[in-house]
Amino acid sequence: MSQALTPSDTCVLVTGGAGFIGSHTVVELLTGGYQVVVVDNLSNASAKVEDRIKTIVGSEAAANLTFYIADVNDRNALNKIFDQHHIDRVIHFAGYKAVGESVSKPIEYYSNNIGNTLTLVDVMRNHDCKSIIFSSSATVYGDPESLPLTEVSAKKPATNPYGWTKWMIEEILSDLHAADPEWNVVLLRYFNPIGAHASGLMGEDPKGIPNNLLPYVAQTAIGKREVVHVFGNDYPTPDGTGVRDYIHVVDLATGHAAALQWMNGRTGVEIFNLGTGRGTSVFEIIHAFSEACGHEVPYVIDPRRPGDVAENYADCSKAHELMGWQAQFDISDMCRDAWNWQSHNPNGYEG
């Protein structure tokens, strides 16, 4: 049975806690009084994140953070962490996330994302820890039949291995609860996380050429890329460009804190969309970012990117009604904070 605990009595293991969404969530948890254990293999994150988190939360809350550089798929390492700490809940972010790369490296994606989840839940079960929040994605909805997307909208076949891993891990965790009703599973389906911490100390730091729109726009604004490539202006949307539900990463982080609070003392499987409920086009993003950085960000129109949908945005009323959570920040806040991060850290965590 999942116990009701106060934050200071709750130890949360955060896998992938040095990554973009993970690091912002760790900050929210520490400021909320939780004890936090991070496990991250730094395969796509910087060792500098730990210090940045500590600087943001201050020394008192920082004392509640333990950081392990280890792979979630390393059963021995994970067992040691669970032996050392009484882990009450897990937030599972660790995984590969580049859509295009997943198409060329399916074995790596399936074995890393699904393999590490299976190792994790097995070690959890062996330590009688059965509460998990999983980092899922709106990608499971595929090409929507109608908008906005609610949690009961149909899951559609994924178009790439990355999407399938999210899709299948949702099923795996639901099956765990079906087999053992003591499991307490929350699936959070993120829409498009952007922005950065307002301090300018943490943000998105993609390796190589960014796949996602926002980091590409930010790197173009700072002069690292020549021009933004707009993937299609002939979609059936108001200005012809793709429409997405962009959400500030700090709002996403508070969504995890709300989910932790909500799942306290429960068992079951619950799904929540985390978005803003508002759609924004690629052109609107470029214009908002140009406002934020004070100069026009150049763009060209390219053909559509295969696999892209015209439009999606969330209905987030379930998260509001059940968890009392809703997004606070708008697109101009998101672009301001992303620009603050990019302009102070032109090369991400490396300087």
Q: Which residue is nearest to ligand UD1 (CB)?
A: 242
Helices assigned H by DSSP within the chain = 20-31, 49-57, 59-62, 75-84, 99-104, 106-109, 115-126, 161-179, 213-221, 249-263, 282-293, 317-318, 331-344
Looking at beta carbons only, is 32 or 193 nearer to ligand UD1?
A: 193
CA-closest candidate to residue 24, choices 177, 198, 159: 198
Helix axes 161-179, 115-126, angle to 10 degrees: 20
| Per-residue x/- track, 20-59, ligand UD1 (CB under 6 A) | ----------------------------------------
Site string for ligand UD1, 267-296 (x = CB under 6 A): ---------------x--------------
Q: Kindly determine how many residues on this chain lie close enough to bind ligand UD1 according to the rule CB under 6 A.
A: 18
Nearer to ligand UD1, 216 or 262 (CB): 216
Site stretch for ligand UD1 (CB under 6 A), options 27-35, 120-128, 169-177, 208-216: 208-216
Q: Does residue 256 bind ligand UD1 (CB under 6 A)? A: no
What track of x and - describes contact with ligand UD1 for positions 91 through 130 (by CB under 6 A)? --------x-------------------------------
Please, which residue, 131 or 192, has the CB nearer to ligand UD1?
192
* Interior angle at CA 279, CA 137 and CA 220, nearest 5: 85
Residue 35 bridge partners (DSSP) = 11
Contact call for residue 242 and ligand UD1 (CB under 6 A): yes
Q: Cβ of residue 99: shortest distance to ligand UD1, in angstroms?
A: 4
At 62, list the tokens. Answer: 């920082």
Report if residue 163 touches ligand UD1, rule: CB under 6 A. yes
- Going by C-alpha positions, the residue among 43, 249, 17 that lies closest to residue 133 is 17
Question: What are φ and ψ of residue 3, in 5° steps?
Answer: -85, 145
Instruction: Please state, in angstroms and rounded to a whole number, the distance separating the CA atoms of residues 93 and 45.
Output: 12
Catalytic residue among 162, 216, 246, 313: 162
Among 67-75, 114-122, 255-263, 301-309, which window interacts with ligand UD1 (CB under 6 A)? Answer: 301-309
Angle subtended at Cα 297 by Cα 292 and Cα 302, rounded to the nearest 5 degrees: 135
**225-229-234 Cα angle (round to 5):** 170
Residues in the chain: 351
Which of 44, 112, 119, 192 binds ligand UD1 (CB under 6 A)? It is 192
CA–CA gap between residue 102 and residue 109 (Å, rounded) = 6
Name the residue nearer to ligand UD1 (CB basis): 199 or 211. Answer: 211
Chain residues that interact with ligand UD1, rule: CB under 6 A: 99, 137, 139, 163, 192, 211-213, 216, 229-231, 242, 244, 282, 305, 307-308
Catalytic residue ranges: 162
